[in-house]
Structure 1
């Protein structure tokens, strides 16, 4: 992080001076930023789009020395722990943030933040892009592989989708922290085209979060364990894998493995394999000029009619339409 920006974050502002002396919360948000002003004392207030005005993104340091009361908002929020640590209460759960961690809060997510210490620096990043949500990130992750879809369905109830995600920092995802630092620098040291650069960084950040976020299966049974192994094999070896080869590999009867897979994964082995192949096919369709016939062969399929039928069922479009849209998007960005 830029030393000047870090120094400014560590410097006490007027609200922090008050909170430091009184050890109690002092509101720095005008009533015009609250959708239901009367709720400030009665219940969790809803913060509206006041912060954005003519901007797509709003960034500020979280004030230290006093707990921030329970609240919610009409926009997506990131709590980025730039330095030190913090504790939050998020939708009834206790969340601990260490340095480098990022907490993503969806629209309507209730959360409160415990008092930060003198050396704790949390940066709040707010943005109002209605196309970005927890559900969108789930869909992005799901489109990585059929394995992710299975894990997500185990950890997220469809009727009660979690309204937050915790991205914990480790040595493998320093790229996420680097991108966040770039966003903060562009915001607090604006130059020509900073707003456009920040918006592009946000797109990169979303993709990096998906790439670096691991979904872990907990308390799995023996049958789920074998299905996870098969799903990983489908993800890694989709071109030439088969149910027969998997049954032989894990020393199971083919019919038994087929039944267990369908019960636990909610789909047949063949369906999961086709979905994984189509994920890679679409990636090649939209990012290369490879002929569709070559793509079909590259993903391990041979029946062209079957490929086009399943592609349309999975993506509600044709390979030709997706390629044309991708080329159009690339052209518009150049212009």
Structure 2
């Protein structure tokens, strides 16, 4: 399948869509009612979608019929392939435009507005364990911004929330999503692994979108955004101090300490340590530098202190880590 055949496949009316366009709507009253909010029934839609092998399932949202408020047991990622669509989440209305994505946690009450012929939305239905265990474990040590994203997901996705990604200007996201959809609808011999990696690419790009969004949206309690600070720490971890960082951003060091702790859950020293240990881990894995040279490169003059910190962080010595990575 290529992009042209994908477009044709997604644009073609399904049997249900033909019926909905003719006014033969689905009877949601047959579903279980789990709650009533402001005189509206809340339905449970735990239907038997193909969530096999702990992976995600892909379906096209049926056009020509709105979906009433409902909940389900999986995490849902909605990707607006074309057109636009109204989403109502916990009583809040928002419009998803072409190229944008919304992540909705399991058991979150949400509804979908009417979609016309050109409004094509893709639903990724994801078992909670897959998102947490498979995906997040890959991102957990990539960067401070990845960690910040994970913390936001863990705090926001609390069975009552969602995250919108303003990804319409992303160059990579439509490429990754198109490849994922082509592979899903026309699977190759190694489809499961390819889909797994494509999904990781999709959400890795969402981390970039998330960071950009955070940089452009000021902290609610101040005129300050935390993402540039995390970028600064990652670039200057060898020699930077709290005072230097605070001076660079022209803010009080004590306030910076409070802001970092509140928004990341970590102190300035912990964030510096994370950056140093990640850099050391990469050097041990990808270069032949001695342990002493690695320690100096990441900002440690005291080799004994570096050994102790590395062992606390990775639960092994630098040499043991290198042997393990090299398969020795």
Given the two structures, how large is their TM-score scaled by the length of structure 2?
0.76
Give secondary structure in 1 for the equivalent of 2:123. strand
Match of 1:39 in 2: 33
* 1:168, distance to aligned residue in structure 2 (A): 2.0
> Aligned-residue CA RMSD in angstroms?
3.9
The answer to whether the aligner puts 1:73 opposite 2:102 as a matched pair is no
Equivalent residue, structure 2, for 1:176? 173
Question: Is 1:194–2:195 an aligned residue pair?
Answer: no
Q: Distance in 2 between matches of 1:75 and 1:289?
A: 45
Go from structure 1 to structure 2 and tell me whether the alpha carbon gap of 1:185 and 1:136 turns closer, same or farther (over 3 Å shift): closer
Post-superposition offset of 1:82? 0.7
Indicate if the aligned counterparts of 1:16 and 1:64 stay in contact, CA closer than 8 A: yes
Contact 2:43-2:70 within 8 A present in 1 as well = yes
Give the Cα separation in 2 of the matches to 1:268 and 1:190: 46
Q: 1:70 to 1:326 in 2, by over 3 A?
A: farther
> Using a 3 Å threshold, how does the CA distance of structure 1 residues 122 and 308 change in structure 2: closer, same or farther?
same
CA distance 1:38–1:197, shift in 2 (3 Å): same
Contact 1:25–1:67 (8 Å) recurs in 2: no
Q: Could you state the TM-score of these two structures normalised by the residue count of structure 1?
A: 0.75
The CA distance in 2 between the partners of 1:53 and 1:143, in whole Å, is 28
What residue number does 2:38 align with? Answer: none
Corresponding residue number in structure 2 for 1:16:
17
- 1:1-335 matched pairs, under 5 angstroms: 2-22=3-23, 24-26=25-27, 38-39=32-33, 42-47=41-46, 50-53=49-52, 56-128=55-127, 130-133=129-132, 137=136, 140=139, 144-145=143-144, 160=158, 163-171=161-169, 173-214=170-211, 215=214, 216-221=217-222, 231-243=230-242, 245-246=244-245, 257-266=252-261, 269-286=268-285, 288=287, 290-315=289-314, 319=318, 323=322, 326=325
Judging changes above 3 Å, is the alpha-carbon distance between structure 1 residues 194 and 269 closer, same or farther for their aligned structure 2 residues? closer
Structure 1 residues 26, 18: CA separation in 2 closer, same or farther (over 3 Å shift)? farther
C-alpha separation in 2, matches of 1:323 and 1:133: 28
Cα–Cα, structure 1 residues 160 and 103, in superposed 2: closer, same or farther, change >3 Å?
closer
Give secondary structure in 1 for the equivalent of 2:98: coil
Deviations 1:4-24 (A, max 9, x none): 221232222221122223284
Closer, same or farther: CA 68–308 of 1 in aligned 2, 3 Å: farther
What stretches of structure 1 of length at least 5 have no aligned partner? 32-36
Deviations 1:133-163 (A, max 9, x none): 3996599378522x67679878985895874
Shift in Å, 1:277: 2.0
Deviations 1:296-334 (A, max 9, x none): 222212223333433444455655565566556xx9xxx
Aligned length: 313
| Alpha-carbon shift at residue 97 of structure 1 (Å) | 1.0
Structure 2 residue ranges without an equivalent (≥5): 36-40
* Whole-angstrom CA distance in 2 between matches of 1:287 and 1:114: 50
